[in-house]
Homo-oligomer: A and B are copies of this chain.
């Protein structure tokens, strides 16, 4: 896949252009020839697969099972839940016909007007409606509960302004949908899944997040509560990285999902839903990467170690290979993915640049001099530090280096974020400072009016009421001057 490996735009010059450059040059994804849709390229997809595999294991540990529900949703389903229709029956892809034919006059391929559907279908923007319509047939007694399903699938929302991974018309995600006998159990599940997301994003993706609950305005359409994890990107903007919704009995009632409880009484089932998407790829890029390209935390890197030989003759290469072969075996035994890149169609300089822009955590270089001296050059991608080390004991060194890179990615991001979180009680000060990004913890009176004014004045939004910020004495709302109900996290967001 031919491409030029010239420098990326610098982040300080144009953060947005840097992001687009990186997505392209690291072979992660590209714009498709379908409005607002993307092609996820093999390297980008291999990172998504690691995200999927790891999350999937964590879901299953909590008893969740995967299933698959239809892509198309009958139009009338959206009308059943009053708030849901407001949120989702808008910009979406509508299937109206089921046949093409060749026009007899022009010989063009046209939509066959005779093949018009009686009722249109919508390509799922999210699947609460069709899944709860299905649960109606699955749930009759408390013995059938809980139902804990998840699906990995594609969804479509006809977004007007799109950006690769961050906002695309079609995207990949998982959506979990659970049904419970009691309110308490459903609320507990919604919070449990938020914790699964937070732990995964922090431990594997090395992205620190703030957990909290959304304001009413920012809630999922049809939810009683939306929980969120919010991450800070390098430009100080927030990226909502995962949400978990407590849906109450809204969908149970809308789709008539009733069960007989232990006292032989009919009850509506309680619901949650929760999802993360290929948006996480955007969070990954904008948390760790630098002007040289992607930086990957080792736990998420499809390839953790690359070994590049520098040689003139085939004899040189043979003696390098002799050293490398047992190294590869040892690394594999430790569960470390490594590759010896002896492709002679590419120069070492090209390889260095390519692996750098792709964020391979550790690069080893071996030349004739190294073989003579029993040494190897080791570079870590996160700091770009190079050192020449003895070959003896190198595998143990690589293992601890990978652990160190993982920790360093997280710590660097955490320190950056923590140094850009501000307490602020003065609206004028807030308006001045929010221009430069950052997270602001501010007293809020809890009204939608105040929330709307902040958004109108500054484009910043209430990201959440953070769980770990004391809500005891929230003070005075900085906009309305009324007593505050909460300390809210406010930021500009992707």
| A residues at B contact (CB < 8 Å) | 1-2, 30, 32-34, 37-42, 45-46, 48-49, 65-76, 78-79, 85, 89-101, 108-109, 111, 120-123, 130, 133-134, 137-141, 143-144, 147, 149, 153-154, 156, 158, 170, 172, 345
State whether B99 touches A92 (Cβ < 8 A).
yes
Which listed residue, B38, B93, B138, B345, touches A95 by the CB 8 Å rule? B93
Q: In the complex, what distance in Å separates the CA atom of A144 from the CA atom of B346?
A: 11
Copy number in the complex reads 2
Least distance between A160 CB and chain B CB atoms (Å)? 10
Q: In the complex, what distance in Å separates the CA atom of A172 from the CA atom of B75?
A: 23
Q: In the complex, what distance in Å separates the CA atom of A345 from the CA atom of B145?
A: 12
CB-CB under 8 A from A66, the residues of chain B are 42, 45-46, 49
State whether A34 touches B72 (Cβ < 8 A).
yes
State whether B98 touches A96 (Cβ < 8 A).
no
Least distance between A403 CB and chain B CB atoms (Å)? 26
Which listed residue, B75, B95, B133, B141, touches A100 by the CB 8 Å rule? B75
CB-CB under 8 A from A98, the residues of chain B are 91-94, 158
Least distance between A57 CB and chain B CB atoms (Å)? 12
State whether B93 touches A72 (Cβ < 8 A).
yes
Q: What residue in chain B is nearest A107 (Cβ atoms)?
A: B79
Q: What residue in chain B is nearest A29 (Cβ atoms)?
A: B68
State whether A94 touches B92 (Cβ < 8 A).
no
A-B contact pairs, 14 of them (CB 8 A): A2-B140, A2-B143, A34-B74, A39-B67, A48-B68, A49-B66, A90-B99, A90-B101, A92-B98, A94-B100, A95-B95, A100-B122, A153-B154, A154-B154
State whether B89 touches A100 (Cβ < 8 A).
yes
Most chain B CB neighbours (cut-off 10 Å) among A30, A94, A99, A143 = A94
Q: What residue in chain B is nearest A53 (Cβ atoms)?
A: B53
Q: What residue in chain B is nearest A99 (Cβ atoms)?
A: B91
Q: In the complex, what distance in Å separates the CA atom of A89 from the CA atom of B115?
A: 13
State whether A133 touches B40 (Cβ < 8 A).
no
State whether B69 touches A85 (Cβ < 8 A).
no
- A65-B42 in contact given A70-B170, A72-B93, A100-B75 (Cβ < 8 Å): yes
State whether A133 touches B33 (Cβ < 8 A).
yes
Q: In the complex, what distance in Å separates the CA atom of A291 from the CA atom of B490?
A: 62
CB-CB under 8 A from A108, the residues of chain B are 79
CB-CB under 8 A from A78, the residues of chain B are 100, 109
Q: What residue in chain B is nearest A152 (Cβ atoms)?
A: B152
Q: In the complex, what distance in Å separates the CA atom of A69 from the CA atom of B121?
A: 22
Most chain B CB neighbours (cut-off 10 Å) among A92, A95, A101, A122 = A95
Least distance between A303 CB and chain B CB atoms (Å)? 12
Least distance between A426 CB and chain B CB atoms (Å)? 42
Q: In the complex, what distance in Å separates the CA atom of A120 from the CA atom of B100?
A: 10
State whether A92 touches B96 (Cβ < 8 A).
no
State whether B93 touches A154 (Cβ < 8 A).
no
Most chain B CB neighbours (cut-off 10 Å) among A32, A140, A143 = A32
- A76-B109 in contact given A40-B68, A66-B49 (Cβ < 8 Å): yes
Q: What residue in chain B is nearest A78 (Cβ atoms)?
A: B109
* Minimum-distance CB pairs A-B, first 7: A42-B65, A40-B68, A37-B70, A94-B97, A98-B158, A34-B70, A89-B100
CB-CB under 8 A from A68, the residues of chain B are 39-40, 45, 48, 172
Least distance between A282 CB and chain B CB atoms (Å)? 15
CB-CB under 8 A from A96, the residues of chain B are 94-97, 111
CB-CB under 8 A from A74, the residues of chain B are 33-34
Q: What residue in chain B is nearest A142 (Cβ atoms)?
A: B345
Q: In the complex, what distance in Å separates the CA atom of A299 from the CA atom of B108?
A: 50
- A89-B109 in contact given A65-B45, A134-B32, A141-B2 (Cβ < 8 Å): yes
State whether A70 touches B1 (Cβ < 8 A).
no
Q: What residue in chain B is nearest A88 (Cβ atoms)?
A: B100
